[in-house]
Amino acid sequence: MGKGRLIVLTGPSGVGKGTLLRSLLRRHPEIHVSVSVTTRAPRPGEIDGQDYYFVTRLQFERMVAQGELLEWAEFAGNCYGTPRQAVEEKIQAGRWVILEIELDGARQVRKTFPSALRMFILPPSMSELESRIRGRGQDSDSAIERRLVRAREEVNAANEFDIQIVNDDLEEALSKIEMALFEPVPAVC
């Protein structure tokens, strides 16, 4: 059995984290992506239990109170969190687990799982980020505004992460993620 590992992928909303992850999983189906819990309403096409577990605020608060979340945060008016048990079981079983989470959650994981590899995905520019969020066409104008304000704060924290990758050309960004995950670390004498 291989050694379990926790990997954190963070970056502003709309930078392409979901798109990169879907491509990564097609190439490496052995990696497990944690399914988060959220109080956000499902977007068209999103499936409960696959994209997220969609819950009420009361259900979310109960999960927090019962210690069921490995980390959680409020983002653009909604709550998001990582179910603890599934992640811990997968890592125990030797799997690699990816959390696609925002900055506050990534900071919590740094404290609770210091061995996690933390990657930050950057946009080529803020104007490109805005056009990706608008092009996705799934958020209201006010939600887009909130996401852009938060995006600036997140980008300013990119240096807190082990690795920063610019998602300009999708294939190049994907190769860089693969290199970070699979290239052997040079031995230190």
Q: Tell me whether residue 159 or residue 189 sits nearer to ligand 5GP (CB atom).
A: 159
Q: Tell me whether residue 73 or residue 91 sits nearer to ligand ADP (CB atom).
A: 73
Which one of ligand 5GP, ligand ADP, none interacts with residue 170, CB within 5 to 8 A by kind? ligand ADP
Query: 108 near 153, Cβ under 8 Å?
Result: no
Which one of ligand 5GP, ligand ADP, none interacts with residue 109, CB within 5 to 8 A by kind? none
Contact stretch for ligand 5GP (CB under 6 A) within 19-27, 102-110, 118-126, 177-185:
102-110
Rounded to whole angstroms, the Cα distance separating 61 from 138 reads 26
3-state secondary structure 79-110: EEEEEHHHHHHHHHCCCEEEEECCHHHHHHHH
Q: Tell me whether residue 102 or residue 176 sits nearer to ligand 5GP (CB atom).
A: 102
CB within 8 Å of 173: residues ≥ 6 apart: 16, 20, 121, 165, 166, 167
Q: Tell me whether residue 4 or residue 83 sits nearer to ligand 5GP (CB atom).
A: 83
Contact stretch for ligand 5GP (CB under 6 A) within 24-32, 79-87, 88-96, 115-123:
79-87
Q: Which of 120, 117, 146 is nearest to 133 (CA)?
A: 146
